[in-house]
Amino acid sequence: METIIRQAFTSAAQKPGATVAFNERVSTRPGDSLGISPLYLLMGCTLPVYFLVIAMQRAVGFSRRAHMATMVGGAALACYFTSAYGMDAIPPHPLALLYLFLLTQAVAPTSYGFVPFLGPFFPGAAVTLFILLGVSSSGCSVPVDLLPGFFRFLHPVLPMGNAADALRDVS
């Protein structure tokens, strides 16, 4: 996309004395020339809480309150350790960790709420919603403007798209 934009504006500025200056508005992290580390960071925070919800189905001795407390604590640890130690990818702004935690809290309780309604179909529904559709509409690997209409519609609806936008805004 950058190449196309550069070509269009450079050819338009062929007038004598005209120059074109490009400034990167959303910088990438050092060593991440493609700018897709947020995708892996968000996946690294989403998958552990999904598996935690599956594990909580097996914890039949826990009350609903204990399930939720375990998911909140486990999600906080998962997003911190994934982003801080696993990927060394926390942007230097303190709100970034909060946004990652909020992503986990959007995924875990929603997935947990699917269990009574979907029963054995819960894993497939949660993976479809939060992983397949979430990654495709997040705008992390392909800019939102280039997504097909359906995924562009899902971008502000699903939590991964919101988390990606929030991380870009603070970095």
Q: What is the pLDDT of residues 112-142, one digit of tens each?
A: 888 889 988 888 898 899 889 998 998 888 8
d(CA 137, CA 160): 8
Q: What is the pTM of this model?
A: 0.74
Average pLDDT, stretch 142-157? 89
Are the C-beta atoms of 63 and 89 separated by less than 8 Å?
no
Average pLDDT, stretch 80-93? 66
pLDDT by residue (tens digit) across 98-118?
Answer: 888 888 889 888 888 888 899
d(CA 4, CA 22): 13
Tokens encoding 134 = 């979430």
Non-local CB neighbours of 65 within 8 Å, separated by 6+ positions? none
d(CA 96, CA 113): 26
Are the C-beta atoms of 165 and 143 separated by less than 8 Å?
no
Tokens encoding 145 = 């403007």
Q: Which of 26-40, 59-73, 121-135, 156-170 has the lowest mean pLDDT?
A: 26-40
Q: Which amino acid is at 129?
A: L
Q: Return the higher-pLDDT residue of 117 and 11.
A: 117
Average pLDDT, stretch 5-29? 65
Dihedral class, residue 170 (left if φ above 0, else alpha if ψ from -120 to 50, else beta): alpha
Confidence of residue 85 (pLDDT cuts 50, 70, 90): low
